[in-house]
Amino acid sequence: MTWVDIWKEEFMLRAMLATALSGVACSLVGVLVVTMRLSFIGVCISHAAFAGALVGLHFGISPLSSALVGSLLAVGVLGPLADRGNLSPDTAIGVVFSASIALAFLLLALLPGPKSEALSWLWGNVLTVTSDNLRVLGYVAGGIVMLTALFFKEIQAVIFHRELASASGLPATAIFYGVLVCSGAAITASLSAIGGLLVFSMVINPAATAYQLTYNLRNLFVLSAVFAVMAGWIGLALSVLFNLPSGAMIVLISTAGLLIAITLSPKRTGGKS
């Protein structure tokens, strides 16, 4: 089979679709968390989702469902802590992050038999995504695109200044929690393809890359999604060409894109965009 023939195989078409859907879902929530300065909440949610998946494997229930529950639990704990200021957001994230990792390691150690399935949720493999994974990714990506378009103006106001948005009569708190829940859903749906360790870069890198290039929020969403899909496809192609891990290649390509954008950024050089 030649390199060109590989791209005609069903598993490659599925991988390309999974990369694109995951890229769109993660990059859109990425714009929200980057502009709202919530980046590390994403790290925390991804590890809580991984711990949730392991809980599912341990008790014989769907790991995807339990990963979603894990990520929503993290949102349920982090949201109020960050919101009410009882604890500094950094401290709250640190506590939930370390507790999630500890729970994941504990469950990994307690899991009987081979650990390969459990570890696949940590590393991910875009080449082995199933039709079910694709369907979930499709629903999540479609849902996030739709919500972002429908609530664009409210999101923009909350990104600018949450208290000011609230003072003008907008449901700023609902938008804030909506962003966290969407982050949890995007991260959970991408776990099987990208893995718990790397999915966070899919959230942050494309958004951070686009953030270097525009002051227009609409363009930021579009550019972020384009960069995510491009990084996904280029990373996938290189992983097939050189027989390398696909998740790692996707993340490295998106990181390279970010470095190029920082170097060329009109924001850094004081130009217009």
Partner 1 sequence: MWVFYGKTPALRNISLRVRQGELLGLFGHNGAGKSTLIRAILGLVPVRQGQILVNGVPCTGSYLPQLRQQIGYVPQMLNIDPRTPVRAWDVVMMGQYARIGLLRFPSRTHHQAAADALQKMGVLHLAHKPFGHLSGGEQQRVLLARALASAPHLLLMDEPTSSVDWQFVRDLTSLIRQVHQASNLTTIVVSHDAPFLAQLCDRVVLMEGGSILGDLQARDLLTYIGRELT
Q: Which residues bind partner 1 (CB under 8 A)?
A: 35, 150-151, 153-154, 156-157, 159-161, 163-171, 211, 214-217, 219-220, 267
Nearer Cβ to partner 1 (85/142): 85
* Smallest distance, partner 1 to C-beta of residue 205, A: 17
* Smallest distance, partner 1 to C-beta of residue 230, A: 20
Contact residues for 103 (Cβ-Cβ < 8 A; gap 6+): 51, 54, 55
Burial 232-266 (b: 16+ CB within 10 A, else e): bbbbbbbbbeeeebbbbbbbbbbbebbeebeeebe
Nearer Cβ to partner 1 (103/157): 157
Identify which of 221, 47, 41, 238 has the alpha carbon closest to the alpha carbon of residue 126: 238
* Smallest distance, partner 1 to C-beta of residue 168, A: 5
Nearer Cβ to partner 1 (158/191): 158
Nearer Cβ to partner 1 (197/262): 262
* Smallest distance, partner 1 to C-beta of residue 166, A: 7
Nearer Cβ to partner 1 (116/269): 269
* Smallest distance, partner 1 to C-beta of residue 143, A: 15
Instruction: Please state, in angstroms and rounded to a whole number, the distance separating the CA atoms of residues 124 and 195.
Output: 4
Instruction: Please state, in angstroms and rounded to a whole number, the distance separating the CA atoms of residues 211 and 199.
Output: 19
Angle at which helix 116-123 crosses helix 39-59, to 10 degrees, equals: 160
* Smallest distance, partner 1 to C-beta of residue 203, A: 17
3-state secondary structure of 227: helix
Instruction: Please state, in angstroms and rounded to a whole number, the distance separating the CA atoms of residues 28 and 141.
Output: 9
How many C-beta atoms surround the C-beta of residue 73 within 10 A? 18
User: What single-letter amino acid sits at 56?
Assistant: G
Nearer Cβ to partner 1 (10/163): 163
